[in-house]
Amino acid sequence: GWQFLLKAYLEEFVNVTRTNVVLLILINAYHTSNNFDQKIEEFIWSDDKLKQLYESHSNQMPYLRLVPFPLPDVDMPLLYQLSNVFVLPSRGEGWGRPHSEAMSVGIPVIATNFSGPTEYIKHEQNSILYWMRYAFEHPQQMKTLGIQASKDMNQFYCVDCVGRILENKLKLVVVFVSLVMTAYSFNLKNYFFTSLILHFWFFFFFKDKNKKYSKYNTKKNNSTKQLHKKKKKIK
């Protein structure tokens, strides 16, 4: 959704002192041509509002810079740390590796309130789900959110943390398979015993996850309600 990002940025920051804000876009030709300068120019001039803005405020439009691809992985932390906020308005993510990378180095994220990243992005606690202008006008709060984001990623989603979770789940798989093999060895193929095994499996497989995230989900739902209220106020 780079078009949404570009349109929102240009409309929101027109008339802002140009040296105070700049949008860095890391470009990547994914199933498309790599002529991004032309793509961006064509998009701007095809949008009536953006075209009008450029015609009437040509010297007051905010800066836009393209970061060429490929950028070596070793340089990605430097790119993140050059920024005050990382913005990725994607339509959907499996997990959202760029989001978690930025948060890990202490950069707050503005992201779409949908799919994978909603698992770890807590609105107004470690990142925000919209408001580029708000992020620009509250730099100190963004630093605070970035610090919390880094703590959350290192505490809950580090390599060792995820490894321990997977290890525990694999142990449960072994237990489940052992129970099934035991049932077959005693010819216990009736529905009652099968149902008992499945109930045992689901209870222990999801018990830790439900316990861990029950409080978080409550906070998350409350946060989402507050988010919608603030959206209505802004409108």
Please state which of the ranges 62-76, 150-164, 167-181 shows the lowest mean pLDDT: 167-181
What does the pLDDT read at residue 204? 59
Name which of 211, 138, 144, 203 is nearest 175 in CA terms.
Answer: 203
pLDDT beyond 50 at 213: no
pTM: 0.68
pLDDT beyond 70 at 211: no
Distance CA 7, CA 47 (A): 9
pLDDT beyond 60 at 206: no
What does the pLDDT read at residue 220? 47
Q: What percent of the chain has pLDDT over 70?
A: 74
What does the pLDDT read at residue 28? 76
The stretch 30-56 carries a mean pLDDT of: 85
Note the pLDDT tens digit of each residue in 164-174: 888 888 887 88
Note the pLDDT tens digit of each residue in 85-143: 999 988 888 888 899 999 999 999 988 888 888 888 888 787 776 678 888 888 888 89
pLDDT category of residue 50 using cuts at 50, 70 and 90: very high
Q: Which two tokens stand for residue 31?
A: 């199933």
pLDDT beyond 80 at 34: no
Name which of 151, 143, 82 is nearest 108 in CA terms.
Answer: 143
What does the pLDDT read at residue 212? 44
Question: 1-157 in CATH: which number?
Answer: 3.40.50.2000
For 124, residues 6+ apart whose C-beta sits below 8 A from its C-beta are 145, 223, 226
Distance CA 179, CA 176 (A): 5
Name which of 231, 162, 172 is nearest 205 in CA terms.
Answer: 172
- In the chain, what are the domain boundaries? 1-157, 160-206
Rank 111-120, 122-131, 178-187, 224-233 by mean pLDDT and report only the highest: 111-120
Q: Which two tokens stand for residue 112?
A: 């779409």
- In one-letter notation, the amino acid at residue 93 is E
Mean pLDDT of the chain: 78
